Structure 1
Amino acid sequence: MESLDSVTLTAVAQIVWPLCRIGAFLATMFVFSGNSCPRMTRALLALAITVCMLPSIPDLPPHSDPFTLQGFVITIKECLLGLVLGIATLFVSQAFTIAGQVVAMQTGLGFASLVDPVSGTNSPVVGQFFNVLCTLVFFGLDGHLYFFRLLLESFRLVPIGQFFPLAGMQEFISFSSSMFKAGLTMSMSAICTMLVVNFTLGVMTKAAPQLNIFSLGFAITMIVGIVVILLSLGAFMSNFTNNFNDVFNVSCSLLGTSCDGVL
């Protein structure tokens, strides 16, 4: 018969280790990470989600002690696993933030900047606009619920004490560069349009030197830039859906399983 201390330690481990994975996930998850969500709120949310998920989390083997060296190693593994899963969700918005920064830089709207509440640094308003729009669509399509369900499945696919498969980590690292490609692809319309506008202004200046290119050029560039941003919003949903499905598929591969997107 197991001693009372052994049963108590196993019960503590059954709560602490899932809490480490879920808390680390929320610490880096899109929307909940950084300064956008107070730490106390994030901690209480992690505790509430842990309590809700406990009945579905596989039981630990007997004599599980979180206060030994082996228990400390498992705690580190759980924190790393949650951090990586949370970082994967950031890829949903980073492509749109990069696209907004490129568009702002090309259209002359880069001087209009705000303090990003997440990173604490100045970023163009266009990038902030895309980020806010991405956040609204993320919650509107229940993107957070899909990732919470994947987090719950991670306890079955990667049991407590284990780590990601090597193949999944390699695919995750290689995918991290694709957000720059996606952001550049979404901003190509603005880049090509502004190239044509700048070429036209150059021809006009050469044909009519009396034109004040500085006063005229900035106004035309910003007006065209705003029009391009408005026209590009029509493809926002399709871009978001494709990006979300790609990120979700990579997150599934990270856990050693496969999925064909959810949106």
Structure 2
Amino acid sequence: MRIDISLLPALAAAFVLAFARIGAMVMLMPGFGETNIPTRIKLGIALMLTLIILPLHRSAYHIDMTSLTPLMVLMVQEIIIGVVLGATARVTLAALSVAGSVIAQQLGLGFVTSVDPTQGAQGALIGNFLTILGLTLLFATDMHHLVIAALNDSYRIFVPGEIMPSGDVAALATQAFTAAFKIGVQLSSPFIVFGLVFNVGLGLLARMMPQMQVYFVGVPLSILAGFLVLVAVIATMMGTFLDYFGGVMHQLSP
């Protein structure tokens, strides 16, 4: 009995190409690609997703084993596609950081910073809290399944071996950054109104009572009232963010 192993090199090449796309996306995905997650766990998740997704799209890879140059070009394309998909999901999550920074400035807590576990850098305390809360809600509501579905459907949009539509990629990146900033400002809009009204009130109080130390009275009162507003609107804020995140992921999944 003879065993034909001539397909093994092409299958190995297809596995490496699929792993390049999936691994690049996993390294940037919210929840999976955080800096505090060990690299081995990220690689394990990428390998598991590759083993699941590759059999579904094995026929999409047309590999010529006689030349190395087309394989290298195809791998670069796969890495770029994975980075685009992962960065889109990451920028979507950044809307919470924008909202947290604006809220912290309005409450007088802009100078209070802590290490952001999702980025490994200093960030506003409220922004870090909203980011962690958003990640928790994404996994609690199974929204991370949409990211995996977008990865699976990316083989319909970005077919391996075809020229990438650079115009569509640039439009996607521009739209993602614009929408993230827009949603971040919209989420913090109650606090922008609160800060405007509160500061105008303090200004009137300072004019009416010049001998009163308005700053020492206003800062604690601003923090207290701001946290009360945060408690009142945080459910609506996070619901709006989940709808926005789901909308972006559905755009990536035709």
Fold match by TM threshold 0.5: yes
In structure 2, runs of 5+ residues without a counterpart are none
Task: Give the direction of change, closer, same or farther, for the CA distance of 1:60–1:135 in structure 2 (3 Å limit).
Answer: closer
Q: Contact 2:26/2:42 (CA < 8 Å) preserved in 1?
A: yes
3-state secondary structure, aligned to 1:218: helix
What is the identity percentage for the equivalent residue pairs of Structure 1 and Structure 2?
26
Q: What does residue 136 of structure 1 align with?
A: 136
Task: Give the direction of change, closer, same or farther, for the CA distance of 1:60–1:192 in structure 2 (3 Å limit).
Answer: closer
Query: Are positions 1:108 and 2:108 aligned together?
Result: yes
What amino acid maps onto 1:153 in structure 2? D
CA distance in 1, matches of 2:117, 2:238: 24
Distance apart, 1:160 and its partner CA: 2.0
Instruction: String of CA shifts for 1:216-251, please: whole Å, max 9, x gaps.
Output: 111111111111211221312431233113312442
Task: Give the direction of change, closer, same or farther, for the CA distance of 1:171–1:61 in structure 2 (3 Å limit).
Answer: closer
Q: Contact 1:17/1:160 (CA < 8 Å) preserved in 2?
A: no
Instruction: String of CA shifts for 1:125-164, please: whole Å, max 9, x gaps.
Output: 1101110111011111211112112211222443322354
In structure 1, runs of 5+ residues without a counterpart are 258-263
Q: Contact 1:25/1:82 (CA < 8 Å) preserved in 2?
A: yes
Q: Contact 2:98/2:184 (CA < 8 Å) preserved in 1?
A: yes
Instruction: String of CA shifts for 1:32-67, please: whole Å, max 9, x gaps.
Output: 224132111101111111112222123256653397
Distance apart, 1:194 and its partner CA: 1.1
Deviates more, 1:211-220 or 1:62-71: 62-71
State the aligned residue count: 250
CA distance in 1, matches of 2:234, 2:96: 11
CA distance in 2, matches of 1:66, 1:186: 54
Q: What does residue 28 of structure 1 align with?
A: 28
Q: Contact 1:9/1:63 (CA < 8 Å) preserved in 2?
A: no
Q: Contact 1:95/1:180 (CA < 8 Å) preserved in 2?
A: yes
Q: Contact 2:20/2:78 (CA < 8 Å) preserved in 1?
A: yes
CA distance in 2, matches of 1:67, 1:5: 19
Query: Are positions 1:193 and 2:187 aligned together?
Result: no
Q: What does residue 179 of structure 2 align with?
A: 178
CA distance in 1, matches of 2:89, 2:233: 23
Q: Contact 1:9/1:66 (CA < 8 Å) preserved in 2?
A: no
CA distance in 2, matches of 1:199, 1:60: 62
3-state secondary structure, aligned to 1:59: helix
CA distance in 2, matches of 1:88, 1:211: 50
Q: Contact 1:113/1:124 (CA < 8 Å) preserved in 2?
A: yes
TM-score normalised by structure 2 residue count: 0.90
Instruction: String of CA shifts for 1:89-147, please: whole Å, max 9, x gaps.
Output: 11332111100110001111222211112322211111011101110111112111121
Task: Give the direction of change, closer, same or farther, for the CA distance of 1:53–1:145 in structure 2 (3 Å limit).
Answer: same
